[in-house]
Each structure stands twice: as structure tokens, then as C-alpha cells.
Structure 1
């Protein structure tokens, strides 16, 4: 038996021999990362430099885009290095750091989408009281909550529960470091990890899902009972939020199933795609959703990129 203090590195076993294609994969991943960085930075700049966009909905979007950059930077540079490397190993400290970054990214993404749904619920269902309910202090408090709560929770999960475990092996069947796969390597008691995971899943994740369903049911009720103009305005602002939420939820579900059940019967490429979906598609799709679907952002982007041309 070896314990976690003796594990100096982990082996990522999901990589496979690609031969000369590794340079093609490298260029593909690099292109995705460059697009993600450029698109999210562009939208952050557009919102920050235009006073007309200094509204709660757009400030929450800035927080969302910054989180996309945070999560992408925790994954893509690492993937690029591993693709070019012939030895797919990662040091134990960096592995736990990556686990922390990716978990906190996922938690913050879910909380931010939930708060954005709450913001749309207030704006559509209580328009006359919206500005008194969603004050600047409340917006700052909600953004601070979405950033610091996941940091605290996942600091406890990674450095309080996962890192101290005694490990019997150091092979992770992923292309990046994953908390659940590290826990499966433990030969010490993992009861605390399992209990905490179940409590977090049912009280926080399911609680947020129920709350989100309530918000969108109320929003849809207003949409279908109001005028055509009200319905169009509500749908135009809520569609990107709902699509983003569904995309992230499906990705997280794929990752949950992939981590906890034996998927070895699936093709290797499909398993890698499913494990990366929630980390890559969200930062890739969100700038397109909000940049193309929200007319205010689309107009300001056009003016910023092409001057006065319409």
C-alpha cells in the first residue's frame, strides 16, 4: 500500500497513440482555445466599455465569460502539452490543482446560470419592482457568492477530503485529472467523500434544478399569457440562458455517468469526447449564444469591430 504523500505523479491512461496526427489534434485544440479566449474577451470588453450595457443581466454575463476563461485555462494548455508529449504523466500537486480549478469552474458555472435565471424571473414576472429588487449592491453580492462559494466548497472537497486519501495506484483513466477517479484509487476509507458528494448533489444541485424549473415555468406562464410583444421580448432574452443551461446540464450529466459507470465498451474517442464536453462546449457555445442572440450585444460588437457600418 502507498499513501498520497508517496504518490509524486499520476499517469493519464486515456491517451492513445496518434502518430503524425498529434500535430493535427494540437492545431485543432489550439484553434478552439484561441477562439474561446478571443470571443470571451471580446464580449467582456464590449460590456465593460459600454455604459448602456451596465445592467445586472450583462454584469452577470461578464462573470460568466470570466469563468469560461478560468475553466478553459485550467484545461486547454494542459491538453496541448499532453498531446505533444509521449509520456502522459502529471505531478500530484498540479493534478490536485487542476481538479480544484475544474470543479470550481463547474460549480461557479451552475451558480451563475441559476442567478441569471433569477434575474430574468424578476425582470419578466415583476417588471415594475425589478430595479428596486435588483440593486447594484445585490448584484455585487450575488456575483461574489457565485465566485467565493464554489471556491470554499471545492477547497474542502479537493484539499480536505481527496488529497489526504491513501492511494493504492496512480493511474487515472482520463485525459485530465478528475476527482472521482482519484477517489477510486484510494485504499483508505472514502465514506466521508461519498457522503459529502451525495449531500452536495441532492441539496445543492437538485435544489438549484428545482429552483430553475420554478423560475422558467413562471417565465413561460408570463410569455404565453402576455401580449405578442411581451412574449417576443421575454423569449429573446431567455432563450440564450435556457440553451446555455441545458447544454451545461447535459454535459455535466454525461460526465457524471462517464465517471461513475464502466464505459469501456464505448469507442475511445467517444469516451474522451463525453468527458471533455462539459469543459469545452460551454465556453465555446456561450459567446455565440449571447453574442448572436442578444441584440444589444450584437449591435455593440458590430460597431466596435466595423465602426459605424451597419
Structure 2
């Protein structure tokens, strides 16, 4: 508790050699943040301006990459401020708000990947019904569900933790941001909140993963029985989604388990940084290189830049 101010502050003590390397941390993370914003938004922009990409699959990709930018924005600005601050602290209300945003925007990626898997399932397994099943209404409905469900789920623990009768016995988080480590601050975690946490993991993580696995299993079966062209189409469109799902699942398992594990401070710090860097940078690389139509546009832009540079030099 800060003297003279009726506001509770939480110490973030997961940093390693912060006074010694603060400028290095700041420059590296600032560069990563700028790169995340640029790489994700450039693909979103390409999808927006090219009418041939105004298809359900690319709309979902644009939503996913935009979600990555929002996900990064929940943590990067505070991290950059902390790197240059004498004390790495955050008010308890701000900590809860960051907790809410992190578990609202992060799990939305699972729902967006589930929407993509459904789109691929309909496209490959029911091609004749694709235009009637994947309408604009269906796309909008999937996008709304992808953000509304995690938002509602995250609101419930936020409301419980915000109540005055929930007392804090610790003011120290072994981390660099407010994730589920906020539960370790409570004197006693309400049993209802513990049960709800299990339900939330099943509802917003496990169920979308099972749906995705089911969809791609059906696609694999249909593709195996079909022509070479169908198998090629399935591989080109489904592989990037599966790679992103694998990466996201690994990061989610780490985020859930880190609070209950006794990692060394340095290992915890380096592993936590992967939450902020890997996924937001991995997604645009995968979709920019593996999705044929997007990679064509990127190569075309690079070709035009090279031609303009040569003309300028001549």
C-alpha cells in the first residue's frame, strides 16, 4: 500500500537485472512491438484493399492478426514503461484490468482458429454448399462469438476479484505482468472462482481445440479419399492454421502452469517473454509465407519496390 494514498500497488518482481539492462530490454521490446504492429497490419491492409481476398478465410485471418495487435497492446506499453521506471509497480485495479484484457483477447484466438477450421471444413468437405453456408451473416456471427464469449468469461473473475471482501495477503507478483498470478495475491481463493477457472479453461480453450481437431480430422479423411488437387488445397490452407494452433496451445499451457511451478527467476522471465513475442510475430510470418494469395501480394509489392529503387538509381 503506498503511504498517504488510498490505493493498493502490486510489485512486479519477475524482471532480471532490470537496472543493468533496462535500455537493452526497452530497445528490444520496442523493436518487437513495432515489428508486430507493422507485420500484422500490413497483411490486414492487403486483405482489406484487394477484393479477391474478400473471402471468409481471409476475413478470419485479418481478424486473427488484428487480434494479435490488440493482444500485444495489453502488455507492451506497460512493459516499456516499466523498463525505464525505478520501480516496477502497478495499481491493483490496473492489474485486474490488464488481467481482464489478457484473458479476453488471448482466448479469442482459439475461437477465430475454430471459425477458420469450420470454414475449411465446409470449403473442402461440402464445396457445393459453401456459398450458402458461409454467408456474411455466418462470418459476422463467428466474429461476434469469438470476442463476446471470452469477454464474458473474463468478466466473471474480474467482478469476483474486485469485490471489497476479497482480501489481499500478498502484494508481490512473481512475473512482469498481471496474468493468472493475481490469484496468488488473495488470502484465500473463493471456491467458486477456482471451480469457474476450471470451467473457463474447458470452455474457451479445450472445446475450441477439440472442435478444430475434429474439423481437420474430417478434412484429412475426405482429402485422403479425393484427388491430388484436393489434397494439395487442403495442405496449403490447413497447415498454417495447425501450426498457429500448436504454437498457441503451447503458450497457453505454459501460461496456465507457470503460476503453479517453481521456475528460476531467469527462466521464468525468458519463458514469459515468449508470450509477448512468439505468437504475435509467428502468425504474420506463417500467413504471409504459407498462404499462397497473400505471399503473392507480398512478393509483388517487394518486386515493385525493387523496380522503383532501380529506376531511382538509374
Give TM-score, length-normalised by structure 2.
0.90
Identify the residue that residue 221 of structure 1 maps to in structure 2: 221
Aligned residue for 1:290? Answer: 287
2:310 is aligned to: none
Deviations 1:101-138 (A, max 9, x none): 11111111111111111111111111111111111111
Name 1:163's counterpart in structure 2: 162
Pick one of 253, 275, 279 that aligns with 2:276: 279
Distance 2:271 2:131 in 1: 41
Structure 2: how far apart are the matches of 1:257 and 1:308?
46
Tell me which moved more, 206-215 or 69-78. Answer: 206-215
Aligned residue in 2 for 1:246: 246
Residues 65-98 of structure 1, C-alpha deviations (whole Å, 9 max, x = no match) = 1111111011111111111222111122221111
Q: Are the structure 2 counterparts of residues 273 and 225 from structure 1 closer, same or farther at C-alpha, using a change threshold of 3 Å? A: farther
Matched position secondary structure for 2:116:
helix
Q: Which runs of 4+ in 1 moved over 6 A?
A: none
Per the alignment, residue 85 of structure 2 pairs with 85
Q: Does 1:270 align with 2:267?
A: yes
Contact 1:14–1:173 under 8 Å retained in 2 = yes
Q: Label 1:82 to 1:283 Cα distance change in 2 as closer, same or farther (>3 A).
A: same
* Other-structure match for 2:21: 21
When residues 108 and 64 of structure 1 are mapped into structure 2, their CA distance, relative to the original with a 3 A threshold, is: same
Change (3 A) 1:168 1:141: same
Aligned residues: 302
Q: Which runs of 5 or more residues in structure 1 are unaligned? A: none
Tell whether the 8 Å contact from 1:7 to 1:170 is kept in structure 2 after alignment: no
1:136-159 Cα offsets, whole Å, 9 max, x none, are 11101111111222112212222x
Q: Which runs of 5+ in 2 are unaligned?
A: 308-314
1:206-265, CA deviations, whole angstroms, 9 ceiling, x for partnerless residues?
A: 2222222111111111232222221111101111100000000011111111122332xx
Q: Is the 8 A contact 1:44 1:62 kept in 2?
A: yes
Task: Tell me the distance in 1 between the aligned counterparts of 2:262 and 2:20.
Answer: 30
Q: CA contact under 8 A between 1:108 and 1:147: conserved in structure 2?
A: yes
State the match for 1:108 in structure 2: 108
- Match of 2:207? 207
- What secondary structure does 1:307 align onto? helix
Contact kept, 8 Å, 1:12 with 1:174, in 2: the verdict is yes
Contact 2:26–2:83 under 8 Å retained in 1: yes
Q: Would the aligned equivalents of 1:107 and 1:150 in 2 still touch at CA under 8 Å?
A: yes
Cα RMSD (Å) of the superposition?
Answer: 2.0
- Give TM-score scaled by structure 1 length: 0.91
* 2:16 and 2:269 in contact (8 A); partners too: no
> What is the Cα deviation at residue 278 of structure 1?
3.1
